[in-house]
């Protein structure tokens, strides 16, 4: 049962079931959308336990913090098309409201800074200045996580980051 995407629906369902065996979920929906249309859908479990309603194509899920990933994907797609410059003040693109710096001395937040959650942080390193980067790097006391209990946490964060990149197509 291959779709026009070359997706084997049975294989994809089997893969989802395998993931659910390792990470159980009350309700889950997997969809593949192409050219504005739903090409593949797999619903698992219940949308509402109280009413025993199954997950279907119309089930609404709370999206939570994953909106950050979707927003970043959309902005980077606009950047790829040359419609957004990541290094200009974000206010250049805002119409309904303005971002106001916490201090008058702070530079306006750029789109890149908003995407990386670094707006408002002082710029310690100028990437074009290697000498300054070495000087600043020498002053920073970064913890060595090798062999420490932080190591597993770092691995989990790295894995999460890679999963987000997978969602983004990276």
Which are the contacts of 17, defined by CB distance < 8 A and separation ≥ 6?
A: 44
d(CA 32, CA 38): 6
65 is catalytic: yes
SS3 state of residue 160: helix
DSSP 8-state class, residue 28? E
Which among 65, 129, 148, 152 is annotated as catalytic? 65
Q: How many CB atoms lie within 10 A of CB 21?
A: 8
Sheet holding 27-34, edge to edge: 27-34, 37-48, 53-54
Residues annotated catalytic, as ranges: 65
């Amino acid at each position: 049962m291959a779709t026009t995407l070359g997706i084997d629906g049975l294989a994809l369902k089997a893969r989802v079931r395998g993931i659910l065996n390792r990470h159980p979920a009350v309700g889950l929906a997997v969809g593949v959308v192409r050219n504005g249309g739903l090409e593949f859908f797999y619903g698992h479990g219940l949308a509402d336990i109280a009413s025993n309603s199954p997950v279907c194509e119309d089930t609404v899920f709370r999206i939570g913090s994953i909106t950050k990933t979707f927003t970043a994907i959309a902005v980077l797609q606009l950047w790829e098309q040359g419609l957004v410059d990541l290094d200009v003040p974000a206010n250049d693109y805002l119409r309904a409201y303005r971002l106001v710096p916490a201090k008058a001395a702070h530079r306006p937040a750029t789109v890149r800074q908003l995407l990386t959650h670094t707006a408002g942080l002082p710029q310690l390193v100028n990437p074009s200045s290697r000498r300054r980067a070495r000087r600043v790097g020498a002053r920073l006391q970064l913890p060595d996580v090798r062999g420490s209990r932080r190591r597993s946490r770092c691995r989990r964060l790295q894995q999460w980051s890679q999963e987000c990149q997978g969602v983004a197509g990276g």
